[in-house]
Amino acid sequence: MLNHPPTTSPLPLVKTAISENKNSRPTPDKLVPALVNLEKTAKKETESVSYQKLLGHWQLWFITGTKKARKRSGIVLGAGRYLPSWITISLSYSQNNEINLPDAEAGKVQNSVQIAGLHFTLSGPTKFFPKKKLLAFDFTEMQISLLGKPIYSGYIRGGKKRSETFYQQPLKQQAFFRYFLVEENLIAARGRGGGLAIWRRNS
């Protein structure tokens, strides 16, 4: 009988990715396969994830590039990269208890980007499906400020109407993240376009 070596979980390696020390982080060529392996494992799991675990502020830490290709592998991942220190991109999730959905939880998302003195935020409604670990969203409003002074605040691209009809729209028409890793201090997901991303909790 052949003795197979024990399988090592990729989770510890992924956890080191959110280190402040750049020298201790895994390189993208090691991190991306680890994320893919965690995603494969998550697909076999049947346990639901509560939207409560996503609430709070998360800083985007690592992303992969994607390109559509007519191959059996479908979406081909780019090498991936850590975000540079001169730009801060963060997600903030909150809950909306006024809307009751049969198989999902309603909420709101804010996506903030800060580059030097420029700060802009996209926000809109969300709906999270605990069994699928899938969060659908739409950015319907924008706020822009420069050096702390407001420049613009309002709906974008027919955002008012899109906000009003968001919860009636089918999932196939919406952007979404499918979360395959939800830890206390980090989350990881694949977007509808096929890219992978890691966020680190700020608060």
Task: Indicate whether this model's pTM tops 0.95.
Answer: no
Amino acid at 200: R
Residues 174, 163 contacting (CB under 8 angstroms): no
Higher pLDDT, 203 or 5: 203
- Give the 3-state DSSP-derived string for 129-197, with helices as H, strands as E and coil as C: ECCCCEEEECCCEEEEEECCEEEEEEECCCHHHHHHHHHHCCHHHCEEEEEEEECCCEEEEEECCCCEE
Say what the pLDDT of residue 35 is: 96
Amino acid at 62: F
Give me the architecture of the 11-201 domain, per CATH. Beta Barrel (2.40)
Angstrom distance (rounded) from CA 126 to CA 72: 32
Residues 58, 179 contacting (CB under 8 angstroms): no
Question: Which three-class secondary structure state does DSSP give residue 25?
Answer: coil
Residues 57, 203 contacting (CB under 8 angstroms): yes
Domain boundaries, the chain: 11-201
State yes or no: pLDDT of 67 exceeds 70: no
Say what the pLDDT of residue 11 is: 95
Question: Which three-class secondary structure state does DSSP give residue 45?
Answer: coil
Amino acid at 178: R
129-177 residue pLDDT tens: 999 999 999 999 999 999 999 999 999 999 999 999 999 999 999 999 9
104-139 residue pLDDT tens: 999 999 999 999 999 999 999 999 999 999 999 999
